[in-house]
C-alpha cells in the first residue's frame, strides 16, 4: 500500500508541475523518485518518463496517449482532470483528420460550380 501511495504521489506531482508549465520541476520529481523502492521500472515510472518526453518534444499525441491511459484516468478525480486537460506548449490542439468528401454526389446536395468571374473581371 505504501509503494502505491509513493507512485501516485509522484504522478500527481508531475501532473501539477506540467500543468503549471514547469517541466524542470516535473523532471526533477521523477528523477528523485528513482531512488524510492519500487518506483524505477514501474508502470507509473514508464508513463511519467513517456509523458515528460512527449512534453519536452512538444509531441501532443504522445502526451495525449499517456494522459488518457487507464493509469491516469482512474486516479483521483482532480488528478484525472489535470491529466486530460494538460496541453503541450507548442503542440497546439490535437490534430483531427478532415472529413472525407462524399463521392459520386450521392449526398443529394448539388456540387457548387466554380465561378471564373467571382471576383470581377479585373
User: How do residues 19-33 score in pLDDT, each as one tens digit?
Assistant: 999 999 999 999 999
Q: How far is residue 63's CA from residue 60's CA, in Å, rounded to a whole number?
A: 5
Please give the pLDDT value at position 95: 44
User: How do residues 44-69 score in pLDDT, each as one tens digit?
Assistant: 999 999 999 999 999 999 999 999 99
By three-state DSSP, how is residue 73 classified? helix
Q: How far is residue 63's CA from residue 54's CA, in Å, rounded to a whole number?
A: 5
Residue 37 binned pLDDT confidence (cut-offs 50, 70, 90): confident
Give this prediction's pTM: 0.70
User: How do residues 67-108 score in pLDDT, each as one tens digit?
Assistant: 999 999 999 999 999 999 999 988 654 443 334 444 544 444
Amino acid at each position: 500500500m505504501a509503494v502505491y501511495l509513493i507512485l501516485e504521489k509522484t504522478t500527481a506531482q508531475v501532473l501539477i508541475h506540467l500543468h503549471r508549465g514547469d517541466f524542470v520541476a516535473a523532471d526533477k520529481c521523477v528523477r528523485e523518485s528513482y531512488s524510492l523502492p519500487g518506483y524505477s521500472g514501474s508502470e507509473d515510472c514508464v508513463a511519467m518518463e513517456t509523458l515528460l518526453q512527449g512534453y519536452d518534444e512538444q509531441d501532443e499525441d504522445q502526451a495525449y496517449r499517456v494522459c488518457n491511459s487507464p493509469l491516469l484516468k482512474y486516479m483521483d478525480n482532480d488528478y484525472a482532470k489535470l491529466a486530460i486537460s494538460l496541453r503541450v506548449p507548442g503542440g497546439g490542439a490535437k490534430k483531427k483528420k478532415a472529413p472525407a468528401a462524399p463521392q459520386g454526389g450521392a449526398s443529394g446536395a448539388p456540387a457548387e460550380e466554380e465561378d471564373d468571374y467571382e471576383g470581377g473581371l479585373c
